[in-house]
Amino acid sequence: MCLTAFCSPKRTMRGGLVALLKRIGRLGFGTGYNNLSEETGASRAGHATEPLQADKDGPEADGSESCNVGPPSDREEVVGRKADDGRSSMSKVAVVTGGTRGIGEAISIALKDAGFVVAANYAGNDDRARAFTERTGIKAFKWDVGDFEACKAGLRQVEDELGIVDIVVNNAGITRDGMMHKLELDQWHEVINTNLNSMYYMTKPVIDEMRARGHGRIINISSINGQKGQMGQTNYSAAKAGVIGFTKAMAQETARKGITVNCICPGYIDTDMVAAVPEKVLESIVAGIPVGRLGQAEEIAAMVAFLASEKAAFITGAVMTVNGGQYMANG
């Protein structure tokens, strides 16, 4: 009997392994199979294998490829994501609305520190925006997030100057408080338009490009009052609750396209807005927070930076409650 007969299975295994490693190497992923899994959301784990109904009307319906990555043998799908997965955070562009003051300022700085190229949007205070840019080195762009055409033009300007938008942080918001029986129609519309309609205005212009690339991060800032409601804020509470619903629906639509959509609900944060609250009222607020203090803008920013990172690729449709235990939501 030929001795090579006993060696052929071993050689076959070795040859197959070499071929696999060479194949992975040609795709630009080195020899780290685990890296491929981590960067693409570990979709091979066997979760949710049934196709989403929403994608039947999307790019796949006209013959384009899905960006959901399976095992390395799915060559075409891996190649579909290769161009983006090779980009470092240094080359990824993040837009932060309301990004020059308060929580938004902290978010802009945290994302810059994490290596992203940041565009901080603002609505009206030119002097403050200029001072912000001089202090941080982050470019500020002026447009009204409650105006769809302005959002489209503003995002085009960002892409012309900084590059394709990879991350959108919908942070901008206003208040026009009043008890319902005294609330004027314009107070209702202003808050709904800026705080809720802006979700569509800021997401619609970038979503097709994100789907085509197979990567994106949309992070929406809601509020504790969108979870539990707040007397005197029917408009604000309704808008912020809508942000949560928007987040969960969008997450389902985009999950298989490599785009995560998450929401953060801050509690009472130590910003200029909260500092303007009368002292007695502020004391009663703090008394109702189990950790015994106001939150810091940097604590919200840290959560945003994490959700924007590749380490959060398996998190989507989540509502992150950051309120010191003041309101413990079930979802």
Query: Which residues participate in catalysis according to the annotation?
Result: 236
HEC string for the chain = CCCHHHHHHHHHHHHHHHHHHHHHHHCCCCCCHHHHHHHCCCHHHCCCCCCCHHHHHCHHHHCCCCCCCCCCCCHHHHHHHHHHHCCCHHHCEEEECCCCCHHHHHHHHHHHHCCCEEEEEECCCHHHHHHHHHHHCCEEEECCCCCHHHHHHHHHHHHHHCCCEEEEEECCCCCCCCCCCCCCHHHHHHHHHHHHHHHHHHHHHHHHHHHHHCCEEEEEECCHHHHHCCCCCHHHHHHHHHHHHHHHHHHHHHHHHCEEEEEEEECCECCHHHHCCCHHHHHHHHHCCCCCCCECHHHHHHHHHHHHCHHHCCCCCCEEEECCCCCCCCC
Torsion of CA 294, 298, 301, 302, to 10 degrees: -110
